[in-house]
Amino acid sequence: MDSVLELRAIRKSFAGFAALDGADFTLRRGEVHALLGENGAGKSSLMNVAAGLYAPDGGRILIGGREQRLGGPREATAQGIGMVHQHFHLVKPFTVAENILLANPRGRFSRGIETIEREIAFCTNMLGFVVDPHRRLDSLSVAEQQRVEIVKVLLGGATIIILDEPTAVLTDEEADGLLTTMRRLAAQGTAVVLVTHKLREVTRYADRVTIMRGGRHVAACDPKTMSTAQLTELTVGVALPSPVREKTARGELRLIVAGLRVEHETGRTALDGVGFQVRAGEIYGIAGVSGNGQSELVGALTGTTAVAAGDIWMSGAGHIADRPPAIRRSGGLAAIPADRYAQALAGGLSITDNYAVAGVMAGRYGPWGWLDRKAMAKAAAAAVRAFDVQGVRGLKQRAGLLSGGNAQKLVLARELAGDPVLIVAHGPSRGLDARACAAVHERLLAARARGNAVVLVSDDLDEVIGLADRIGVMSRGRIVAEFDAPADRQAIGRAMVDHG
């Protein structure tokens, strides 16, 4: 057998909750092995066990056929296992070279920096991309940071590379580039684990796929012999109907944006005269390569980014371009921000508090200083049920412990409660599994059918095309083209890059 890594009957519990319940996994030399599973299935947990970060409660780890005990990441690295985490493990104020040197010491500091810079150049040359070793990490894009992680792992001599949802934050092209590189490494004998929710990547790039559900192994097979429908069914248990967009009557104007300008501290213009209108019962999609002003637009709409010039009018709240977020929210704005853990939830607070905070602001649970905690808990419990938030062990549990999809469902439950005038959603299904993704889309379509106006900003072109009634394409801080549904994918794709 040429299995380089074997995990047998791994068990791991967190505070009594079994995240891994006898999970098996076998990795062979020279393969790209996809790991599929719903949010919270235990994919990251299992890989963290392999990387030495989580100490398993039970089970066996075999590396190169021999049983090993991994006391920590250092032992795993020594065994040739390197992992690129879902949330990168990088030091923001350090340079690229310093970050890589930290994990791969090369003697004394100044000599080490020189050596590592040479090695970085060699490694990136081989992989076919560039990273400037002198750049500070926080000045890099997510895709570039990921490259740093990969170089870091490779220079550590890894022969087993674990990538935990590497493509969740990448554009299609970047993802293809990364996975092609991984295929090349596999051809040279490296074993690659690819954790992902995107079936397209599985069928295109993986030699084998393991599917997990509820902390256990469900199946391992060759993805080439499977249809996407079969894979989906194995992953989530049932076949999913794709959401249908019914015809709705467009209502009155809900949002008018005109001549919007946003400038960065550095003086760079992030938004340069953006204008569009959204009506009730309509989803206005914004497509584009990320980094072309989408985040700034969402910030300007929700009130977290200062506007330099231009006007935002929202029915129910009036001209809001320079009003604080609270005014907008009381006027009926609902926001589903891109970073759910940082901007949408308070990770350290309970599920109840996170759900009920909007209602508290509106005075729904009694006056300030006299909250009806019972009513809050009851409302939260109902919402958790209605929106099918999984992995809730108790309403007092910290919201930060929810897996990505379930955290997003909680945000949706809060934001869609009541009858918002306008919903601004930014990358609402990023990092979500097929089922959670479908749930999010269904909720947004339901809001549209109810007559809410929706602005949907997403890097995922398929998502925008599938949901939006009209699509604006953003490039370099402008809306360069607008399309009515049904839109032509090719034409949108051209508009995205033509001006970019």
Partner 1 sequence: MAICEFIVNWAGGVPATALPYALAALGLIVSERAGVLNLTAEGLLLVGALAGIGASLAIADRPWVALPAAVLAAMAVGLLFAGLVVLLRVNQVIAGLAVVFFCQGLTSLLGTLAEWQNHPISGLGKLIVWPLSELPAGTHALFQQDGLVYALLPIFYGVHRVLFKSMTGLRLRAVGEAPEAADSAGLGVTRYRVLAVVAGSALIGLAGGYLAVGGTKMWFGGMTGGRGWIAVALVIFARWRPWRALFGALLFGCIESMVPRIAAAGISVPQYFILMTPYLVTIAVMVWAGRGKGGADLDEPGALGRPHVREERR
Ligand X SMILES: Nc1ncnc2c1ncn2[C@@H]1O[C@H](COP(=O)(O)OP(=O)(O)OP(=O)(O)O)[C@@H](O)[C@H]1O
Residues 364-403 that bind partner 1 (CB under 8 A): 400-401
Q: Are 46 and 9 in contact (CB under 8 A)?
A: no
Q: How far is the CB of 42 from ligand X (least distance, A)?
A: 4
Enumerate the β-bridge partners of residue 482. Answer: 472
What does the DSSP 8-state code read for residue 429?
A: T
Give 466-489 as a DSSP string: HH-SEEEEEETTEEEEEEESSPPH
Q: Which is nearer to ligand X, 48 or 145 (CB)?
A: 48
Helices 404-416, 351-361: crossing angle, 10 deg rounding = 20
Alpha-carbon span 365 to 373, nearest angstrom: 8
Taking residues 29 to 68 in sequence order and writing x for each that binds partner 1 by CB under 8 A, - otherwise, the string is: ----------------------x-xxx-------------
Q: How far is the CB of 23 from partner 1 (least distance, A)?
A: 17
Q: How far is the CB of 109 from partner 1 (least distance, A)?
A: 5
Single residue of 405, 428, 451, 472 touching ligand X by CB under 6 A:
405
Identify residue 301 by its one-letter amino acid code.
Answer: L
Q: How far is the CB of 342 from partner 1 (least distance, A)?
A: 11
Dihedral of the alpha carbons of 167, 302, 471, 500, in degrees to the nearest 10: -60
User: With binding defined as CB under 8 A, does residue 430 bind partner 1?
Assistant: no
Q: Which is nearer to Mg ion, 123 or 163 (CB)?
A: 163
Enumerate the β-bridge partners of residue 26. Answer: 6
Q: How far is the CB of 175 from ligand X (least distance, A)?
A: 16
Q: Are 482 and 275 in contact (CB under 8 A)?
A: no
User: With binding defined as CB under 6 A, does residue 44 bind ligand X?
Assistant: yes
Single residue of 14, 65, 325, 393 touching partner 1 by CB under 8 A:
14
User: With binding defined as CB under 5 A, does residue 235 bind Mg ion?
Assistant: no
Name the burial class of residue 304, with classes exposed (0-12), middle (13-18) and buried (19+) by CB atoms within 10 angstroms of its CB: middle
Alpha-carbon span 392 to 403, nearest angstrom: 10
Single residue of 243, 404, 472, 477 touching ligand X by CB under 6 A:
404
Task: Answer with the entry of partner 1, ligand X, Mg ion, none that 405 interacts with (C-beta below 5 to 8 A by kind).
Answer: ligand X
Residues 71-100 that bind partner 1 (CB under 8 A): 72-74, 77, 83, 85, 88-94, 98-99
Task: Answer with the entry of ligand X, partner 1, Mg ion, none that 477 interacts with (C-beta below 5 to 8 A by kind).
Answer: none
Label the pairing between strands 208-213 and 191-195: unpaired
- The residues, ordered by sequence, that sit 6+ positions from 483 with a Cβ below 8 Å of its Cβ are 470, 471, 473, 491, 492, 495
Give CA separation, 139 vs 92, 109, 337, in Å. Answer: 9, 23, 22
388 sits in the region (left: phi over 0; alpha: psi -120 to 50; else beta) called left
User: With binding defined as CB under 6 A, does residue 45 bind ligand X?
Assistant: yes
Single residue of 32, 36, 43, 428 touching ligand X by CB under 6 A:
43
Enumerate the β-bridge partners of residue 163. Answer: 84, 194
User: With binding defined as CB under 8 A, does residue 344 bind partner 1?
Assistant: no
Q: How far is the CB of 398 from ligand X (least distance, A)?
A: 9
The half-sphere exposure of 426 on its side-chain side, counting CA atoms within 13 A, is 22
User: With binding defined as CB under 5 A, does residue 406 bind Mg ion?
Assistant: no
Taking residues 112 to 141 in sequence order and writing x for each that binds partner 1 by CB under 8 A, - otherwise, the string is: x-----------------------------
Collapse the DSSP code of 141 into the 3-class scheme (helix H, G, I; strand E, B; otherwise coil) and give the result.
Answer: coil
Q: How far is the CB of 300 from partner 1 (least distance, A)?
A: 19
Q: How far is the CB of 43 from ligand X (least distance, A)?
A: 4
User: With binding defined as CB under 5 A, does residue 44 bind Mg ion?
Assistant: yes
Greatest CA separation found in the chain?
69
User: With binding defined as CB under 5 A, does residue 48 bind Mg ion?
Assistant: no
Taking residues 70 to 109 in sequence order and writing x for each that binds ligand X by CB under 6 A, - otherwise, the string is: ----------------x-----------------------
Alpha-carbon span 172 to 143, nearest angstrom: 11
What is the sign of the dihedral through the CA atoms of 357, 359, 365 and 366?
positive
What is the sign of the dihedral through the CA atoms of 416, 441, 482 and 477?
positive
Number of residues that make up the chain: 500
Q: How far is the CB of 46 from ligand X (least distance, A)?
A: 7
Q: How far is the CB of 126 from partner 1 (least distance, A)?
A: 22
- Residues near partner 1 (CB under 8 A) are 14, 51, 53-55, 72-74, 77, 83, 85, 88-94, 98-99, 101-103, 105, 108-110, 112, 347, 400-401
- Residues near ligand X (CB under 6 A) are 14, 19, 37, 39-45, 86, 391, 401, 403-405, 433
